[in-house]
Amino acid sequence: FFFYKLQAGLQRDIRVRELLTEAMEQDGFELFYQPQFQADTCRLIGFEALLRLKNQQAMPSEFIPIAEQNRQILEIGRTVLKKAVQQLAAWQAKGYNLQRIAVNFSNQQLHDATYPAYVQALLEQYKIKPDSLEIEVTESIYLDKSLLTLDFMEQLLRLGVRLSLDDF
């Protein structure tokens, strides 16, 4: 009995890995934007970018852990960031006064040594003020006091990017 459940779970993981590979090759990701409001004024101040598969064959709670396991999250994280920055630039070009756009950041992305330079290049390319970008990190990243983590976060802060805690 247990063997069949285990086998079904492994088969599903393999299928989700295939879906992720297809999504990366065929622009199969889309972002949904959850509004963020200032609590005291109820004024819209920005959005959080939420990643979904266009074909809806797997939910983020299923595909994100698998993407982290096989390190596809590095490329996916860059794709999310680029799409979010492009969208913020488009909204600002239309005259919308949004203060920021937030993107989630995976622990695995700490191993992407050129990510801060990528962030800076996107901000310059799309003429976005650095404090308009908020990178949401989990408390486990925030509590990690390793030199790698501290240096990585310091690089982002030096760019002027906002960091916030997510899932606390």
Q: What is the mean pLDDT of each run of 10 residues along the chain (168 residues)?
A: 73 91 94 94 93 91 92 94 96 89 91 94 97 88 73 93 81
Residue entry with tokens 């799409």: 83
- Give which of 139, 76, 126, 129 is closest to 103, Cα–Cα: 76
Taking each helix axis as running N to C, give the angle between helix 115-125 and helix 73-93, from 0 to 180 degrees, rounded to the nearest 10.
Answer: 20
Structure tokens at 25: 């090759």
DSSP string, 25-43: HTT-EEEEEEEEE-TTT--
CA distances from 144 to 26, 32, 112 (A): 35, 29, 16
The one-letter code for the residue type at 7 is Q
Please give the model's pTM, rounded to 2 decimal places: 0.88
Pairing, β 29-37 against β 44-53: antiparallel
CA distances from 104 to 33, 54, 94, 95, 118 (A): 12, 18, 25, 25, 15
Output the pLDDT for position 57.
86
